[in-house]
């Protein structure tokens, strides 16, 4: 192993020189014995970590030849082979970001916490979240033996304050819409609260007109969502195809394309801070405001978790009626003899 630091004297003072960078540093002594002791200490301090790394490589190469060659790009490629199509598309899109370039070709064995901290400094919430997934995936595969960054040192994720779209905002967007398929799509989202990809992929075969219900399995979770067709939704459905996809063109769009299209439509009417997912929040809020039992709202939205459903409906504003009004509305009808 090449000696990193060499000794030389300038005048009466001894110096060390880095054989890699050429940097020269004063040892602050005129005594040669003391200077050599200081130099040996520096070389030994540098030698031990490097020696340990070489030993680790030797052992790991014997057990797994690919271990020492794996980079974070290898982990990225492996992640993109797992999960649903939507997840794979999302990973492929996110991992193309230049924010990952600092670690992309870094070998796992040579990665330090400083490499991750450099990514954290960019202060991009989504990038930090996907880097954490990448790190944990490599850890679970056994490609890294220990966490590179301890769990408590990862940036804290502060979720954005989300809200549902209001009726006024929905009607404002519809009033300016000229694309018939897109307009019916937005009306379907308003009436069903379906996720944007689920609604875009609705098929006529999902509709049971005999029981007046729509049933489908959510793309994200695979859970069943089922709801009754309202009069307003019936009017929308009668304007859509009776076989195959209800939205033939929109079902071919990527999720990101539909989201971008909606944002442009919102900006065109002066609305900001809205996404297609706002229709899902809005439906949950309206259901809570009218007093729909939570189990029914969960079934309609395909939520398996009460906690998740409550997060969607948390912004609903409920004004309690008077006891007299509530009693009149809930009182059983009188039966005449």
The total of other beta-carbon atoms located within 10 Å of residue 170's CB is 19
pLDDT value of position 59:
54
| pLDDT computed for residue 301 by the predictor | 81
User: Which pLDDT does position 295 carry in this prediction?
Assistant: 78
Measured CA to CA, the distance from residue 94 to residue 71 in angstroms comes to 17
Query: Residue 203 and residue 276: Cα distance in Å, rounded?
Result: 20
Tell me the CA end-to-end span of the chain in Å, nearest whole number: 105
**pLDDT given for residue 284 in this prediction:** 86
CB atoms within 10 A of CB 10: 9
Residue 25: strand pairing partners: 16
CATH of domain 167-313: 1.10.443.10
Please say whether the beta carbons of 217 and 224 come within 8 A. Answer: yes
User: What are the φ/ψ torsions at residue 8 (nearest 5 degrees)?
Assistant: -150, 165
Sequence-separated (6 or more) residues with CB below 8 Å from residue 186: 170, 173, 174, 177, 279
Strand order in the sheet with 24-26: 5-10, 13-18, 24-26
Q: Tens-of-pLDDT digits for all 337 residues of the chain?
A: 577 888 989 989 999 988 888 889 898 899 999 888 888 877 776 766 655 555 555 555 555 666 677 899 999 999 998 887 778 888 888 999 999 999 999 998 888 899 999 999 988 888 999 999 999 999 898 888 788 998 888 988 776 667 889 999 999 999 999 999 999 999 999 999 999 999 999 999 999 999 898 998 888 878 888 888 989 999 999 999 999 999 999 999 988 899 999 999 999 999 988 999 999 988 888 888 878 887 777 777 877 666 545 555 565 555 545 556 656 665 665 455 4
Are the C-beta atoms of 8 and 22 separated by less than 8 Å?
no
CA 63 – CA 61 distance, rounded (Å): 6
Report yes or no on whether pTM surpasses 0.85. no
Phi then psi for 103, rounded to 5 degrees?
A: -115, -10
Both structure tokens of 278: 């706002």
Contacts of 61 (CB under 8 A, 6+ apart): 67, 68
What top-level class would CATH report for the domain 68-153?
A: mainly alpha
The pLDDT of residue 267: 93
**DSSP string of 124-150?**
-HHHHHHHHHHHHHHHHHTSSSS-SS-
CA torsion angle for 262, 267, 271, 276 (degrees, to 10)? 10
Q: Closest by alpha carbon to 202, among 145, 247, 154, 155?
A: 247
Phi and psi at residue 31, to the nearest 5°: -95, 125
CB-side neighbour CA atoms (13 Å) of 53? 13
Chain segment 137-196, per-residue pLDDT in tens: 998 988 887 889 988 889 887 766 678 899 999 999 999 999 999 999 999 999 999 999
Q: What is the pLDDT of residue 266?
A: 94
Q: What is the pLDDT of residue 313?
A: 58
What residue ranges do the domains of the chain occupy?
5-63, 68-153, 167-313
CA dihedral 235, 238, 243, 244 (to 10 degrees): -40
SS3 state of residue 293: coil
CA dist 281 and 309 (Å) reads: 9
């Amino acid at each position: 192993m090449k000696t990193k630091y060499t000794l030389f004297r300038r005048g009466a003072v001894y110096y060390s020189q880095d054989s890699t960078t050429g940097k020269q540093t004063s040892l602050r002594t005129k005594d040669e014995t003391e200077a050599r002791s200081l130099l040996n200490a520096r070389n030994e301090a540098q030698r031990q970590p490097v020696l340990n790394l070489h030993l680790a490589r030797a052992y790991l190469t014997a057990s797994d030849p690919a271990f020492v060659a794996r980079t974070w790009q290898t982990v990225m490629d492996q992640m993109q082979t797992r999960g649903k199509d939507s997840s794979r598309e999302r990973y492929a899109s996110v991992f193309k970001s230049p924010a990952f370039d600092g670690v992309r070709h870094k070998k796992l064995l040579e990665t330090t916490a400083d490499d991750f901290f450099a990514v954290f400094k960019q202060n991009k919430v989504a990038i930090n979240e996907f880097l954490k997934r990448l790190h944990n995936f490599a850890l679970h595969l056994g490609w890294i033996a220990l966490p590179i960054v301890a769990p408590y040192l990862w940036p804290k994720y502060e979720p954005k304050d989300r809200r549902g779209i209001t009726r006024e905002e929905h009607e404002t967007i519809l009033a300016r819409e000229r694309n018939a398929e897109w307009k019916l799509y937005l009306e379907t989202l308003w009436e069903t609260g379906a996720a944007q990809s689920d609604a875009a992929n609705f098929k006529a075969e999902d509709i049971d007109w005999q029981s007046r219900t729509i049933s489908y399995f959510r793309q994200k979770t695979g859970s069943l969502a089922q709801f009754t067709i309202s009069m307003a939704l019936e009017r929308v459905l009668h304007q859509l195809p009776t076989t195959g996809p209800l939205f033939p063109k929109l079902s071919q769009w990527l999720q990101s394309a539909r989201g971008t299209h909606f944002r442009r439509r919102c900006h065109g009417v002066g609305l900001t801070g809205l996404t297609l997912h706002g229709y899902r929040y809005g439906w949950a809020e309206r259901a809570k405001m009218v007093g729909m039992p939570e189990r029914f709202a969960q079934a309609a939205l395909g939520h398996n978790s009460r906690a998740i459903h409550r997060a969607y409906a948390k912004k609903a504003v409920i004004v309690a009626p008077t006891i007299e009004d509530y009693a009149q509305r809930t009182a059983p009808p009188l039966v005449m003899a």
